[in-house]
Chain A
Amino acid sequence: MEIWYSLVDHLFPFAWAQHIFMKNALMAVLLVGPMFAIVGTMIVNNNMAFYSDTIGHSALTGIAIGVLLGFGDPLWIMVIFSIVLALIISSLKFLTTASTDTIIGSVSAAMVALGIVILSRGGGFAKYSRFLIGDILSITPKELLILAIAFGGVILLWGFMFNRFLLVSVNMSLARSRGIPVHLIEILFCVAAAVIVTISIQWVGILIINSFLILPAAAARNITKNIRQYHVVAVLITIVSGIAGLLMSYYLATATGATIVLIAALFYLLTFIWKPRFL
């Protein structure tokens, strides 16, 4: 961490960079941003925006279960809960003929309600509102390490599995005809996405985490023609909007996560306007 701090001092000799919490937050943004960009592109390709939204919202129930079991830091319970949920949703998709949207929508609503019911027992819900909005400025080096490990995990997983994820996202029958175990790959992707969302949720916020996952990818696909460009542009958008959002929230004293998402939304708007000229 010391190396990082002195690096920031060298690169950014500004007032905001003097604070340790800003240095930590900057690193968090640089870890979460690219990680979300590459997971988000695949989520958008798979039309799974609604799924990741549900995982985000269900974190409330994860927190509630953690609190019920008496854990001070509910992160691990949340992660385990999200994995179980991801497994349930992805197998329900294959087992029933009901529309995926309907299944996911019902699960989402039930999980949010259950979380709120448990957490609001005795009127103490305000305590947990930091999960709703997210607070990246309070991140500690130990928590940064968890993010870094998750980021490393995503890169490894993508290195080995990316092509299979991509083929499944293009067309399942096509992927299956090429010997890819489609169900297994889908479940793996659902679980990976769930873990990433859950680990990042207390920094970005339940309310807006899905936007940060979807917007950069949605913006990038407006103006790109192949997979490589798609990833490069999405990663650039998350990094630029992450850093810009962090600084703006510092000077305007606003919630960081929401400010970042707002800038990412601006990128989406710009690429949307630019799209007809691009294609």
Chain B
Amino acid sequence: MPCANAIQKQQTKACGLCCTRLEDFGVKIGRTEILRDINLHIHCGELMAVIGPNGAGKTTLLKAILGEISHTGWLRFLDASNCQARKPIVGYVPQKIDFDAGAPVSVLDLFSAALSSWPVCLGHSRRLQERTEASLLRVRADHLLKRRLGDLSGGELQRVLLALALEPKPDLLLMDEPVSGIDVQGREMFYDMVSDLRRNYDLSIILVSHDLALVSQYAERVVLINKTVICDGTPEDIFSNGQINLAYGPFYIDSTGGKQTYAKNSGGAIA
């Protein structure tokens, strides 16, 4: 059937790769039910922000998608043709990696270890070094190539981790508060970069964040979770919903900038 093939091809081309479906997704650790009845469909090229109070299970959700903890229900990655499930490449930018700052591991070492099987202790190939440089250039961090991980600043480290998560090019990018504890300029630079990448590479991104001002600026879809999905919609939908505001807010609309911000009592965001 040449016709069907052509359509399929076109679809594959148009819609980069796959979409991700969570069906009746839940997580139980011991007897504690952390997440239940999660049904989400993430399209390619979409930036979906996940928000919710502390202990709502946001990080758990990411960890379950990564396969770090086991889950109930289904997690499906579907091809553009919508029927073929395949193993996706998932990129992950962790919140703040916990690592030994004294370890003599350079940025290049980290990339080599992740991208090749040639033992890093024997040195690096020129090809790999060039690839790493190119990949760091994408996040404006090529000058960090030979620096020790422990010597990087918070913002630099997150950019390096983002570059690593994009190598090889992922189908789905998970980010867990990638810029918490980083100054405003660093944060905006990071999200500008993420938006560029999303446009250029047609990535699906799930972003866990507490920074609602930035979320409403960069995400086109916001999902509020607290054990399960409470609300799913555009930033406007979520932040203007009266009931949601009552329970989880208040969010208010900053009329001057047209952005929504998230304030609790005297403006202190719930961290």
21 A-B residue pairs with CB within 8 Å: A158-B119, A160-B117, A163-B114, A163-B116, A166-B109, A167-B110, A169-B100, A170-B97, A170-B103, A171-B94, A173-B94, A173-B97, A176-B66, A177-B94, A224-B104, A225-B104, A225-B148, A227-B104, A227-B105, A227-B106, A230-B104
Chain A 80-115 interface 0/1 with B at a Cβ cutoff of 8 Å (1 = within) = 000000000000000000000000000000000000
| Nearest CB of B to A223, in Å | 9
- Max chain A C-beta neighbours (<10 A), residue from B98, B121, B161: B121
Q: How far is the CA of A47 from the CA of B101 in the complex (A)?
A: 12
Chain B 75-118 interface 0/1 with A at a Cβ cutoff of 8 Å (1 = within) = 00000000000000011101001111011111011101110111
Partner of A45, one of B91, B103, B148: B103
Taking CB atoms, residues of chain A closer than 8 Å to B122 are 228
Query: A interface vs B, CB < 8 Å?
Result: 38, 44-45, 47, 158-160, 162-164, 166-167, 169-171, 173-174, 176-178, 220-221, 224-231
| B208 located at the interface, meaning its Cβ lies under 8 Å from any Cβ of chain A in the complex | no
Q: How far is the CA of A56 from the CA of B71 in the complex (A)?
A: 39
Chain B, 3-56, CB within 8 A of any chain A CB: none
Taking CB atoms, residues of chain A closer than 8 Å to B106 are 225-227
Q: How far is the CA of A228 from the CA of B121 in the complex (A)?
A: 4
The 3 nearest A-B residue pairs measured at CB: A177-B92, A162-B119, A226-B106
Q: CB distance A227 to B109 under 8 Å?
A: yes
| B182 located at the interface, meaning its Cβ lies under 8 Å from any Cβ of chain A in the complex | no
| Nearest CB of B to A125, in Å | 39
Taking CB atoms, residues of chain B closer than 8 Å to A169 are 100, 103
Given contacts A45-B103, A176-B68, A221-B104, 4 further A-B contacts (CB under 8 A): A45-B100, A169-B103, A177-B94, A227-B120
| B63 located at the interface, meaning its Cβ lies under 8 Å from any Cβ of chain A in the complex | yes
Partner of B112, one of A163, A164, A174, A229: A163
Interface size on B, residues (CB 8 A): 38
Q: CB distance B92 to A221 under 8 Å?
A: no
Q: CB distance A167 to B146 under 8 Å?
A: no
Taking CB atoms, residues of chain B closer than 8 Å to A38 are 121
Q: How far is the CA of A170 from the CA of B148 in the complex (A)?
A: 12
Q: CB distance B92 to A174 under 8 Å?
A: yes
Q: How far is the CA of A163 from the CA of B108 in the complex (A)?
A: 12
The residue in chain B whose Cβ has the minimal distance to the Cβ of A235 is B121
| Nearest CB of A to B104, in Å | 4
Q: How far is the CA of A224 from the CA of B150 in the complex (A)?
A: 12
Q: CB distance A170 to B119 under 8 Å?
A: no
Q: CB distance A173 to B116 under 8 Å?
A: no
Classify the secondary structure of B's interface with A.
Answer: mixed
Q: How far is the CA of A202 from the CA of B122 in the complex (A)?
A: 31
The residue in chain B whose Cβ has the minimal distance to the Cβ of A177 is B92
| B258 located at the interface, meaning its Cβ lies under 8 Å from any Cβ of chain A in the complex | no
Q: CB distance B120 to A171 under 8 Å?
A: no
| B224 located at the interface, meaning its Cβ lies under 8 Å from any Cβ of chain A in the complex | no
Taking CB atoms, residues of chain B closer than 8 Å to A229 are 104
| B268 located at the interface, meaning its Cβ lies under 8 Å from any Cβ of chain A in the complex | no
The residue in chain B whose Cβ has the minimal distance to the Cβ of A218 is B102
Q: CB distance B97 to A171 under 8 Å?
A: yes
The residue in chain B whose Cβ has the minimal distance to the Cβ of A171 is B97
The residue in chain A whose Cβ has the minimal distance to the Cβ of B164 is A174
The residue in chain A whose Cβ has the minimal distance to the Cβ of B102 is A221
Chain B, 160-183, CB within 8 A of any chain A CB: 161, 164-165, 174
Q: A173-B68, A227-B121 are in contact. Are A166 and B102 (CB under 8 A)?
A: no
| B67 located at the interface, meaning its Cβ lies under 8 Å from any Cβ of chain A in the complex | yes
Q: CB distance B120 to A228 under 8 Å?
A: yes
Taking CB atoms, residues of chain A closer than 8 Å to B113 are 162-164, 166-167, 170
Partner of A167, one of B98, B108, B114, B149: B114
| B267 located at the interface, meaning its Cβ lies under 8 Å from any Cβ of chain A in the complex | no
| Nearest CB of A to B260, in Å | 31
Q: How far is the CA of A227 from the CA of B116 in the complex (A)?
A: 15
The residue in chain A whose Cβ has the minimal distance to the Cβ of B98 is A171
Q: How far is the CA of A159 from the CA of B108 in the complex (A)?
A: 18
| Nearest CB of B to A37, in Å | 11
Chain B, 121-178, CB within 8 A of any chain A CB: 121-123, 146, 148-149, 161, 164-165, 174
Q: CB distance A159 to B119 under 8 Å?
A: yes
Taking CB atoms, residues of chain B closer than 8 Å to A164 are 113
Partner of A162, one of B97, B100, B121: B121
Q: CB distance A225 to B92 under 8 Å?
A: no
Q: How far is the CA of A174 from the CA of B63 in the complex (A)?
A: 11
Q: CB distance A173 to B92 under 8 Å?
A: yes
Taking CB atoms, residues of chain B closer than 8 Å to A227 are 104-106, 109, 120-121
Partner of B90, one of A160, A177, A226: A177
Q: A170-B105, A225-B148 are in contact. Are A163 and B119 (CB under 8 A)?
A: yes
Q: How far is the CA of A178 from the CA of B113 in the complex (A)?
A: 11
| Nearest CB of A to B263, in Å | 31
